[in-house]
C-alpha cells in the first residue's frame, strides 16, 4: 500500500512538472513575440494598379458604334481586365485622347466619344492622369470639354487644369483609401500644337517646378508621393538617361514611386532601396513605361500590348512606407474581325498569361500574341529588378507572382 501511495505521488509530481514545462515554453514563445521590433508591425495597407496609355484610333471608335442603338460601347476593352481591376483598392491610368466632340477621330488629333469616359469609370478605373502631348489636340475648347466630361463621369484627374483655382484643387491628386493619404503629381514632356494660353493649364516637365512641388508635398501629411510622367522616346524599349535622372530627382525629394507612359512600348521596372543625401533609406519603385493599355497599333511589333503594374503600400508602426509584392501583368490587344470584310474589329484587352494557350483565339492571333509575350518576357527578365510577372494558375483560378 505504501508503494502504491509513493507511485501515485511520483506520477502527480511528474505531471505537475510537465505542465509547468509546457506553461514555461508558452511564456517564452509569447515573450519572443513581444521582443519583435515594433517596425515589423503593419498599421495599414493599400493595393494599387497602374495602366498605360488608353488610346482610341479611328477603327476603335468605328467598331465601338452600335448602328441599332446609335450609341458607342467601349466596355469590351475592359471586360477581361476587370477581375484584376477589382482586386485593387486604387486603379490609375493615362488618358491619351480628348473629348472634343464630333467628328470623332484617332491619330494624329484624338477626339473620342464621351461614352469612353463612362466606360472607363464603369470598369473600375476611378483615377486618370491627363498631362500628355495629345491633351491640347483641339485647343482650348477641346481641352476644357475633356475636363468637363471627366468630371461628369466622376473620374478624379490631375495634370491639366482650367485655371489657378482648379490647379489648387487638383494638384496634387489626393487619393484617400484604406486610411492612406497619397499625393500624385503628373507631368508631360511636351504638348502637341505649340503654344497654349497659360502655363497653369498643363504641367510640363520642369525640374525646378517638380522639385518645388515635391518638397511642398513632403512637408504635409501625405503617407506616400507618386509621380506619373509622360516622358521618354517613342518606341525605345529601354529607359534613357533623362528618365533615370528625373526619377532620381523625384526620389531625392520625397517621392516613393515613379510611373511612366508615352513610348508606346514596355520599358523596364525596378524596385529597390534608395539612400538619399542624408543617408536615409526607403523603398522606391519606378516603371519607366507601361506601354499601351489599348490602341490600334495592330501588328506593330512591341506596340500591340503593354503592362500593368501592381503593388501594396504598407505603413509600419515607425512610419516607414514599404512597397510590397510588386508585380506586372502583360496585356495584349486582341482584335478579331467584326465584319466579313475585316474593316471593323472587336477590341479586347487580354491578360496574356490567362489566354496564351487559348486555341479559340485562332492560330494567327496566338502567333502574334506569342511574339509579343516572348519579346516582353525577354526584355523584362533581363532588365527588371525585383518586379516579377503575375502568372495565372488555371487550376486554382488565381494570379500568382512568378
pLDDT tens, residue by residue, 189-203: 999 976 666 788 999
In the structure, what pLDDT confidence band is assigned to residue 14 with cuts at 50, 70 and 90?
very low
Claim to verify: residue 28 and residue 158 sit in the same structural domain: no
Q: What is the pLDDT of residue 193?
A: 74
Claim to verify: residue 140 and residue 288 sit in the same structural domain: yes
Claim to verify: residue 91 and residue 137 sit in the same structural domain: yes
241-252 helix and 207-218 helix, angle to the nearest 10 degrees: 30
Q: Quick check: 164 and 200 in contact, CB under 8 A?
A: yes
Claim to verify: residue 255 and residue 231 sit in the same structural domain: yes
Nearest Cα to Cα of residue 172 among 116, 215, 115: 215
Which residue range(s) make up the domain with 20? 2-35
Give the integer Cα–Cα distance in Å for 64 and 120: 14
Give the integer Cα–Cα distance in Å for 172 and 218: 12
Residue 389 reports pLDDT greater than 60:
yes
Q: Quick check: 121 and 114 in contact, CB under 8 A?
A: no
Residue 36 reports pLDDT greater than 90:
no
**CATH for 110:** 3.60.21.10
Q: What is the pLDDT of residue 390?
A: 99
SS3 125: coil
Claim to verify: residue 81 and residue 205 sit in the same structural domain: yes
Give the integer Cα–Cα distance in Å for 109 and 106: 6
The domain tally of the chain equals 2
Angle at CA of residue 400, ends 52 and 55, nearest 5°: 15
pLDDT tens, residue by residue, 239-272: 999 999 999 999 999 999 999 999 999 999 999 9
Claim to verify: residue 108 and residue 18 sit in the same structural domain: no
Q: What is the pLDDT of residue 34?
A: 40
Q: What is the pLDDT of residue 38?
A: 46
Give the integer Cα–Cα distance in Å for 388 and 367: 24
Q: What is the pLDDT of residue 5?
A: 38
Claim to verify: residue 274 and residue 323 sit in the same structural domain: yes
Claim to verify: residue 302 and residue 320 sit in the same structural domain: yes
Residue 80 reports pLDDT greater than 90:
yes
Beta-ladder partners of 90: 48
Residue 7 reports pLDDT greater than 80:
no
Q: What is the pLDDT of residue 30?
A: 35
Residue 11 reports pLDDT greater than 60:
no
Q: What is the largest CA-CA distance in the chain?
A: 110
Claim to verify: residue 272 and residue 166 sit in the same structural domain: yes
- Percent of the chain clearing pLDDT 70 (strictly above): 89
Amino acid at each position: 500500500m505504501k508503494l502504491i501511495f509513493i507511485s501515485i505521488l511520483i506520477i502527480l509530481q511528474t505531471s505537475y512538472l510537465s505542465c509547468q514545462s509546457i506553461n514555461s515554453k508558452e511564456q517564452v514563445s509569447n515573450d519572443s513575440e513581444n521582443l519583435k521590433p515594433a517596425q515589423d508591425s503593419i498599421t495599414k495597407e493599400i493595393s494599387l494598379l497602374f495602366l498605360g496609355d488608353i488610346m482610341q484610333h479611328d477603327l476603335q471608335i468605328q467598331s465601338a458604334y452600335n448602328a441599332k442603338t446609335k450609341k458607342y460601347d467601349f466596355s469590351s476593352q475592359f471586360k477581361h481586365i476587370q477581375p484584376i481591376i477589382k482586386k485593387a483598392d486604387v486603379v490609375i491610368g493615362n488618358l491619351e485622347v480628348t473629348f472634343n466632340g464630333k467628328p470623332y477621330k484617332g491619330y494624329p488629333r484624338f477626339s473620342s466619344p464621351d461614352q469612353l469616359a463612362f466606360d472607363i469609370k464603369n470598369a473600375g478605373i476611378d483615377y486618370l492622369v491627363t498631362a500628355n502631348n495629345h491633351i491640347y489636340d483641339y485647343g482650348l475648347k477641346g481641352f476644357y470639354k475633356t475636363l468637363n466630361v471627366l468630371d461628369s463621369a466622376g473620374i478624379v484627374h490631375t495634370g491639366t487644369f482650367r485655371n489657378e483655382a482648379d490647379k489648387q484643387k487638383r494638384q496634387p491628386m489626393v487619393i484617400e483609401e484604406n486610411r492612406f493619404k497619397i499625393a500624385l503629381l503628373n507631368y508631360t514632356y511636351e504638348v502637341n500644337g505649340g503654344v497654349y494660353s497659360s502655363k497653369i493649364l498643363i504641367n510640363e516637365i520642369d525640374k525646378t517646378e517638380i522639385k518645388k512641388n515635391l518638397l511642398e508635398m513632403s512637408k504635409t501629411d501625405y503617407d506616400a508621393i507618386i509621380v506619373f510622367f509622360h516622358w521618354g522616346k517613342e518606341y525605345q524599349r529601354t529607359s534613357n538617361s533623362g528618365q533615370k535622372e528625373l526619377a532620381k530627382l523625384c526620389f531625392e525629394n520625397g517621392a516613393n514611386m515613379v510611373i511612366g507612359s508615352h513610348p508606346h512600348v514596355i520599358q523596364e521596372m525596378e524596385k529597390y532601396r534608395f539612400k538619399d543625401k542624408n543617408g536615409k533609406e526607403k523603398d522606391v519603385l519606378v516603371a519607366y513605361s507601361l506601354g499601351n493599355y489599348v490602341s490600334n497599333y495592330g501588328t506593330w511589333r512591341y506596340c500591340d500590348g503593354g503592362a500593368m503594374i501592381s503593388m501594396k503600400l504598407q505603413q509600419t508602426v515607425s512610419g516607414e512606407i514599404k512597397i510590397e509584392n510588386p508585380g506586372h501583368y502583360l496585356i495584349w490587344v486582341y482584335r478579331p474581325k467584326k465584319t466579313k470584310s475585316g474593316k471593323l474589329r472587336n477590341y479586347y484587352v487580354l491578360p496574356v498569361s490567362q489566354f496564351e494557350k487559348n486555341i479559340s483565339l485562332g492560330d494567327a492571333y496566338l502567333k502574334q500574341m506569342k511574339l509579343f509575350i516572348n519579346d516582353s518576357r525577354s526584355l523584362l527578365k533581363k532588365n527588371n529588378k525585383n518586379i516579377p510577372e503575375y502568372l495565372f494558375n488555371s487550376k486554382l483560378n488565381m494570379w500568382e507572382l512568378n
